[in-house]
Amino acid sequence: MRVLASIGMAAAAAILCTPASAQFAKPEDAIKYRQSALYVMAQQFGRLGAMAQGKAPYDANAAAENAELVQTMSHLPWPAFGPGTDKGRDTRAKPEIWADQAKFKEAQERLMNETSKLMVAAKAGNLDALKPAVQATGAACKNCHDQFRRD
């Protein structure tokens, strides 16, 4: 059980020391987690952007796979913006996130809604379906960044 013991420790500490909803041991872990999830999402989405713009060859399978990943990743960052995670590590998160939770949630939901549509569009298997969905998803990214992320 030695392997298990060392692996579970950080997570166990998280769960024992913080509200169940938070699931992070320290604010810096939450910040690192959300930055990581957003970075992976941005990279996958960038590949779709390149196809939509004709800067990379259109590949229906790769598009579907990337869109599915974007959709999955788009759900992960939000629980990591819990109370007290405004500092603890370099972050561009604006105070508005915690000052206007309803507006922040609305921006999250807009993104998750667009990534679901993006996934459907990518699975349709043609570039003409993909393009507007990539544009709408990109607009949802930008909407949130404009309001809640420092330049």
53 binds a second copy (CB under 8 A): yes
The nearer residue to a second copy, 14 or 129, going by C-beta atoms, is 14
CA separation for the pair 38, 25 (Å, rounded)? 20
134 contacts: CB under 8 Å, gap ≥ 6: 45, 48, 49, 51, 52, 118
69 binds a second copy (CB under 8 A): yes
Contacts with a second copy by CB under 8 A: the residue count is 42
* Length in residues, the chain: 151
127 binds a second copy (CB under 8 A): no
CA separation for the pair 137, 122 (Å, rounded)? 12
Angle (nearest 5°) at CA 42 between 36 and 46: 150
Is the distance from CB of 22 to CB of 30 less than 8 angstroms? Answer: yes
Candidate segments 46-54, 88-96, 100-108, 120-128, binder of a second copy by CB under 8 A: 46-54
Among 12, 17, 99, 120, binds a second copy (CB under 8 A): 12
CA separation for the pair 102, 9 (Å, rounded)? 34
The nearer residue to a second copy, 99 or 139, going by C-beta atoms, is 139
Least CB distance from residue 37 to a second copy, whole Å? 5
Binding site for a second copy (CB under 8 A): 1, 3-5, 7-12, 14-16, 23-24, 29, 32-33, 35-37, 39-40, 43, 45-47, 49-50, 52-53, 55-56, 69, 72, 76, 134-135, 138-139, 141-142
